[in-house]
Amino acid sequence: MFDLKAHLKTLTETHAPSGHEAPIREVLRFEWADLVDTMEMDKLGSLIGVKRATQPVDPPRKIMLAAHMDEIGMMVRKVQDGFIFVHRISGVDNRILPAQPVLVHGRRALPGLVSTVPPHLLGGAQNRYLSFDELVIDVGLPAAEVEELVRIGDLITPDAPMIELQGSRLAGKAMDDRACVAAVTACLVELQSLHHRWDVYAAATVQEETGLLGAATAAYHIKPDVAIALDVGFAPQPGVDADVSREMNGGPALGIGPNFHPGLVDKLRETAKREEIKMQEEIIPGASGTDAWAIQVALQGIPTALFSIPLRNMHSPVETVDLRDIQRAGRLLAHFIADLDADFMAAIDWPDLKTDGS
């Protein structure tokens, strides 16, 4: 029996920042082994699980599911007097770093704490957020030992196990975007009991946080007919405008806007209604900033859609999701895929432009 919560815990507690995704890739090789027929990897490192159609159409069709497996993190830029100075990898928020427990991935894993100057000694500076240059990591070892164990470029990640909150709410690091990787896994599990006519390419992409890089190369590798990207979106919390947030336990949010093919959006709406799966909609009038943005313009253009899982505390070690939204996203994807037929591409094709002046 598939345990989605346990699966998500495994994914989020694996340490794998952008450009260094090997640990989470190996976890997924194991987790997906019985759910797909083959696995591939593109040259940038994205893992692609392929589940072949149970009732293939002619010509064969491919759908790509894309969720990024990298996470934000830091790396060592200097070691001085036993303290470690850092650079961010992508979107680490310096406002929340002080006193945070971390792991320094040196010649062995070193637990440490982000340290700062005591507020008594800051003068008038205690009312501002400290910059990265003012933050250091203390691993509690003598300076000579730190110099021996830690090198410039070593990785640093939050030391943050997944926390079970009330009900079905879960918090932890790397929910962005491992919650969506878990939704893809849930989809593959659901497909085990469904017939489908299209080949499914489940892509755990790399380096999304550094520029949507893995999605671009994976799309070229797969050459899908259509694609659905999954990422997290903002959930309501103080300071977050209602216009840009979607309710937790409201189901995944379907993106509406120029990044997303209207025919694909309509079909997903129909599936959600038919299967009675809760789903929300989110207006995104420009760049979505997700893997969908890179996939849409790959090759000659790929009809693309986006599902977002509502999440609080984005880019922090306590990113919070509702497990039910992940379950719904996986189930909705599976039933959408099971409903695709040989005529779907013709049904969503753009109308021919008239050239006779009529």
Residue 162 φ/ψ, nearest 5 degrees: -65, 140
Cβ partners under 8 Å of residue 67, min gap 6: 177, 180, 181, 183, 184, 203, 204, 205, 229, 230, 231, 291
Q: Which two tokens stand for residue 10?
A: 């495994």
Do the beta carbons of residue 234 and residue 284 sit within 8 Å?
no
| Alpha carbons 328 and 345: distance in angstroms, whole number | 25
Determine the Cα–Cα distance for residues 347 and 70; give it in Å rounded to an integer: 35
**Do residues 159 and 101 lie in contact, with contact meaning Cβ atoms separated by under 8 Å?**
yes
User: Active-site residue 319, yes or no?
Assistant: no
For residues 50 and 32, is the Cβ–Cβ distance under 8 A?
no
Cα–Cα dist 7/178, whole Å: 10
Listed residue (57, 6, 64, 96) closest to 315, CA to CA: 96
Distance CA 18, CA 268 (A): 30
Torsion angle in degrees (nearest 10) through CA of 43, 174, 75, 229:
30
- List Cα–Cα distances, 69 to 17, 121, 317, in angstroms: 9, 41, 16
Reference 135, options 162, 156, 114, 164; nearest CA is 114
| Catalytic-labelled residue, pool 208, 209, 282, 319 | 208
| Kind and range of the H or E run holding 144 | helix 143-149
> At 81, which amino acid appears?
D
Which residues are known to be catalytic? 208
